Chains A and B, each alone.
Chain A
Amino acid sequence: MKFKIPIFDIKNLNFSVKGQKVLSNISLEIFSSEYIAIIGPNGGGKTTLIRMLLGLEKPTSGEIKIFGKKLNDFKEWYKIGFVPQRASHVDSSFPATVLDIVKMGRSSQKTIFSSFGEQDRALVHDAMVKMDVLDLKDKMIGTLSGGQRQRVMIARALASKPEILILDEPNTGVDMASQKRFYALLRTLNQEEKITIVFITHDVGVIADDIARLFTINQKAIICNNPKQTLSCEEMSTLYGIDAHLLHNHKHEH
């Protein structure tokens, strides 16, 4: 690990809004092929942290490096697949078939003179197969169930052949059966395709066996390098506060 360049390298990151601290002195690294879960109470700053990693929000202070480069110098954004928190709440009248959406995953890598070619078609097809949405390809996005929509969003991200997938609570409003299937798909992507996964979720108990490390974000960050012993991380319980019992429950289910 020592000589490897991390995908994300965050040092002493601080973020305040109107004098209110949202993130305080966060330092962490995310390495290639890791599967990382991020948990924390609502309003703890998970989404804000991700938005800063992606350059959507400027930190008050601190340093972020992405593939060894400063955010401003980084150009290979196709290496990052991002599924935001509100992704499954698409406007139901938006004129898009599943195929239209997954094809968007290729559009950033097109220059105006290179048209949609054989290779793009193949990647779009592959992504739909992987996320099991191929038979939905001509369906309108607004008519899909929450679970189907979630898989389409990931397929769109996969179509750009990302090295890392960042998912911000993509499973809100998705039924239990679809969630299980979804977790299995993520595990496959991580283990077989070696795609790095950063997954913000409340369901950490269910994926405890899949993940390499667990970050708890509640203004500060606490990093658990051995998530199977998550609950022995004492700081985490204090940090996580009242939500900690949720973890226990999920552990039992597992």
Chain B
Amino acid sequence: MLEMFEYDFMQRAFIAGMIIATLASISGTFVVLRHYSMISETLAHSALVGVAVGLVAGFNPLWMAVLVAIISAWLIEYLRSEFSLYSDAVLAILLSGSLAIAVIIVSLGGAFNNSLFSYLFGSILSVSIEDVYTISIFGTIALTSLLLFSKELYFIAYDEEVAKVSGIKVRLLNFLLVSVVAVIIALSIRVVGSLLIGALMVIPTISALQFKVGFLKTIIISLVIALLSVGSGMTLSFYFSLPSGATIVLCVLTIFIVSLLINRK
């Protein structure tokens, strides 16, 4: 067995990492096709507000992150469907606004800035066994709800109006998608960090799209890419003492460049 698995914390981190890779890449395919990349970026920052509240008030930061991210997701989806005007500006405001609120809460509450820092960039050292349970349970629920409606969500991504006319509950499913994405992002920031999770959601799918294959194959390729990136990123970060989140993102970027090159015509 590899040396890194002799450490309990590495085993926990690896399990959590693989679950997150699965969640982020599969939901990421819908995020990319739906042009929701900016929304996921914003949710990653809203989740930090939850983390801050958790750290200061002494609640489980991961649970609080999930809660705040979901509320933020609903707010975004509501604003987006009611006022289509300037929706990217609204996202930008929410993004920097949440980051500011998170930092202020933490500094007023006197919590260790270090803890918040570990949620910004991710830290495998800090993954506890409770975190692994939380990630597995919420992750399974989120992914199952996504997969149950994957056909409908795919249709909506392809053409929202035609989907609506054929009787698909577009509004409801848009809310479902953002909620699922919110949960997955909140779960992921412990390992990958809120500044870097967007990359793990979006880049595997963008790489898979280079292969120009159908829906199912695109999901499978992006899943494989995410698993490979997280696996190699964690291994490299262990042996070379590099920060885990950033190393994972560099691995996924490398795979992206490779897939661009091999699919170049």
The CA-CA distance from A140 to B151 in the complex, in Å, is 18
Name the one of A55, A82, A97 contacting B162, with C-beta atoms under 8 angstroms.
A82
Whether B214 and A112, one on each chain, are in contact in the complex, defined by CB atoms closer than 8 angstroms, is no
Tell me the total A-B contact number using a CB cutoff of 8 A. Answer: 81
Counting chain B residues whose Cβ lies within 8 A of the other chain, the interface size class is 20 to 34
Q: Judge whether A56 and B151 touch: CB under 8 Å.
A: no
Binary CB contact string for chain B from 132 to 163 against chain A (1 if under 8 A, 0 otherwise)? 00000000000000001101101100110111
Asked if A75 is an interface residue, CB under 8 A from chain B, the answer is: yes
Asked if residues B158 and A104 are in contact (CB atoms below 8 Å), the reply is yes
15 contacts between A and B (CB under 8 A): A55-B165, A56-B165, A75-B167, A77-B167, A78-B167, A84-B159, A95-B209, A95-B213, A95-B217, A101-B158, A103-B151, A104-B166, A110-B151, A112-B148, A160-B166
Q: Contact flags (1/0) for A60-80 with B, using CB distance below 8 Å?
A: 000000000000000111101
Q: Which of B159, B161, B163, B168 has the most CB of A within 10 A?
A: B159
Given A94-B33, A112-B148, A77 and B166 contact (CB-CB distance below 8 Å): yes
B155 x A108 contact (CB < 8 A): yes
Known: A56-B165, A107-B152, A108-B163. 13 other contacts (CB 8 A): A84-B162, A95-B217, A96-B158, A100-B215, A101-B158, A103-B151, A104-B158, A107-B166, A108-B166, A108-B167, A110-B151, A110-B152, A142-B212
* A127 sits at the interface (CB 8 A): no
Give the residues from 104 to 156 in chain B that come closer than 8 angstroms, CB to CB, to chain A.
148-149, 151-152, 154-155
Main SS class of interface, A: loop
Closest B residue to A139 by CB, please name it: B214
CB neighbours of A93 from chain B (8 A): 209, 212
The majority secondary structure among interface residues of chain B is: helix
Are B218 and A108 neighbours in the complex by a CB distance under 8 Å? Answer: no
Contacts of A112 in B (CB 8 A): 148-149
